[in-house]
Amino acid sequence: MAKAELRADPNVRWRTAPTAKPAKRRSARAAAKGARRPWRRILGFLVRWFLVAVIWLAIAVLAYAGYLAYDLPDVSRLGEPVRSPSIQITTADGAVISRIGATYGPRLDYEAISPWLVKAVVATEDRRFFEHDGIDPRGLGRALVANLRAGHVVQGGSTVTQQLAKNLFLTPERTFSRKFKELILAFWLESQFDKPGLMAIYLNRVYFGGGAYGVEAAARRFFSKSAADLTLPEAAMLAGLLKAPSRYAPTHDLDAARARAALVLDNMATIGLIAAADLAAAKASPADLRAPPSTGEGGRYFADWVMEDLGGFVGPNPVDLTVVTTLDARVQRLAEEAIAAELAAHGDAQRVGQIAAVVMAPDGAVLAMVGGRDYGESQFNRATQALRQPGSAFKLFVFLAGLEAGLRPESRFVDGPLSINGFAPRNYDDKYLGEVSLAEALARSLNSVAAQVAWKVGVDEVIGVARRLGVTAPLRRDLSLSLGASEVTLMELTAAYGALANGGRAVLPYGIAQVQDTNGRVLYRRAGSGGSEVIDPQTRARMIRMLADVIAGGTGTAARIDWPVAGKTGTSEGYRDAWFVGFTRGLVAGVWVGNDDNSPMKAVTGGGIPARVWSGMMAGAMAGRPPEPLFEEDFPSLLDEFIAELGLGEETFAAVPAAKKRDR
């Protein structure tokens, strides 16, 4: 086959040697381009790995977000916050004594909140609130720049939605996972609510300081008005509290709160939310604190005492409560001032550590209570919790038992050294007066006569009288009881004297007049006129006359005021306790002086510091009242007085010499 034919045959493949091409000279430009190719390869390698890293980072972020989303709190409900009820304790006229727990106001709709407050919050907390979708990149950038310039954190980048997410669902811990959850929840909130709804939820939940959660509670706490009625200066002050509620609370530092409000007003003007005239007017008339009146630190002992009894009146209750008490702010202040004056004048010199006082109405309504010199140092209430020896103040029960057994104020006794079954009482100054009347023995607080009366009527009878008049503390069943050796509380001893002031009825001290919830529904209201009769009228009148003599010319002259009064001093052995308990027609009060460690004072008797404190607070408390007699009728009959004048009423009880002991 010819060669040409073979070449034309498609079944024949020819292998031919490549034709050699002539070499070409590389230009300088090509050489330079080839030299750069390694850097291109490196750059391409880095770009590829960067893209891979970004992809894997995105996958990791999505995986972490999925993990956190799985661990998010339940957001299906946005009900009322879970909390313990708050309790506000007030005086009878509305002054706040104490607040226990946080105060939450009722929920308000967006339309019911002052527009000034919304504008103030937007200007201060989140300027683009109505524009962003939960996260504000501009705000984050602005905060970052401000913080870098200042060298520390001066601005936060969180939006109102983010703050709401944190307040509703998360803890305040500063961790990356918490912040990431906050972002997720912020987007969720934005998808579920419109902007007015989110702002209303935020303002109804956020903490404004002073124990107030929610705008309505804050408005009433600081300005005694609804959040719907807030003025521009008031709205600026509330918005300013959000940065540091405790520091800027007007109840804590009004000047700081006003300075912060001025910055809020400037912010509002800067972004055009208020006009220049509004700015000037608001700064010229800053907000004033119009909080409900408060007794300050006074009455804290009383508030604790009331709280101990509250559960028995209303039981477990999930709602906020207002407890209206019997405390009188004026009388409370008088008691505190009288105690402070005596401690300042004589406390150190006479080694006095504590003074306690109780003032009550004759029906038992406690009007003032001081449980010690400083509640901040010690919350132990020496008026209600301390058991101390009353000394001669206990003689009320001894002499009442004697009167009920047939003795009269004119009954004669011999005051002298004696011993009864080994018990040998001594008078305060170791002096004896010889033959004296029962009334004189009480006025001069003669121990020997008190022991004779207790021995004559029997210790059990004395204990019975004390129990009938409300003493519940354990009492000794021996003659030392007649000298006040058994310990009692100031509260129960004062209440016992109250039975003389109120017509002879038993006195049960109380401090709660009414309990109501936040809706004004009354859960408890005190009713009733007091206890049953425990002292008959004639015995009561005689006892009052004898106690009046104590102040008129006996050991209690320092307790005199410009009203008819009666009472009794008491001093325990070694000057460890000193008392004065007494009453007028309208008030009963008791004072105790001593030391918590039971150490002796320096010659403090019931007729000294206690009587002066009693006089100081009672004179002020009775101011404005017309003088009234201690009782309405002259109960002892003319026949009793005639017999007494003749000296035929009672035998004279001679003191038993120490060498001639006798048994009974």
DSSP string, 438-485: HHHHHHTT-HHHHHHHHHHH-HHHHHHHHHHTT--S---SSGGGGGT-
Backbone angles phi, psi at 275, to 5 degrees: -80, 165
Q: 429: part of which helix (H) or strand (E)? A: none
Q: Within a domain: residue 419? A: yes
Lowest mean pLDDT among 66-80, 250-264, 458-472: 66-80
Q: How many residues does the chain have?
A: 664
Chain centroid to Cα 509, Å, comes to 21
Last residue of a domain, one of 267, 284, 301: 284
What range does the domain containing 171 cover? 101-284
The domain spanning residue 439 has which CATH number? 3.40.710.10
Q: Within a domain: residue 271? A: yes
List active site positions. 125, 392
Q: Within a domain: residue 204? A: yes
Last residue of a domain, one of 284, 299, 319: 284
pTM above 0.75, yes or no: no
Question: Could you report the per-residue pLDDT of 121-165, keeping only the tens digit for each?
Answer: 999 988 888 888 777 777 666 655 665 666 654 455 688 888 877
The domain tally of the chain equals 2
Residue 278: exposed, middle, or buried by beta-carbon count in 10 A (0-12, 13-18, 19+)? middle
What does the longest C-alpha to C-alpha distance in the chain come to? Answer: 185
Q: How confident is the model at residue 633 (pLDDT cuts 50, 70, 90)?
A: low
Residue 140: exposed, middle, or buried by beta-carbon count in 10 A (0-12, 13-18, 19+)? middle
Residue 640: exposed, middle, or buried by beta-carbon count in 10 A (0-12, 13-18, 19+)? middle
pLDDT of residue 61: 56
Same domain, 267 and 398: no
Q: Within a domain: residue 306? A: no
Q: Within a domain: residue 662? A: yes
Same domain, 119 and 236: yes
Same domain, 395 and 278: no
Q: Within a domain: residue 314? A: no
Same domain, 404 and 277: no
Same domain, 249 and 107: yes
Same domain, 273 and 406: no
Q: What is the mean pLDDT of residues 347-373?
A: 96
Q: Within a domain: residue 86? A: no
Residue 639: exposed, middle, or buried by beta-carbon count in 10 A (0-12, 13-18, 19+)? exposed
pLDDT of residue 19: 52
Last residue of a domain, one of 240, 266, 284: 284
Q: Within a domain: residue 129? A: yes
Question: Could you report the per-residue pLDDT of 566-624, keeping only the tens digit for each?
Answer: 999 999 999 999 999 999 999 999 999 999 999 999 999 999 999 999 999 999 999 98
Same domain, 119 and 237: yes
The domain spanning residue 247 has which CATH number? 1.10.3810.10
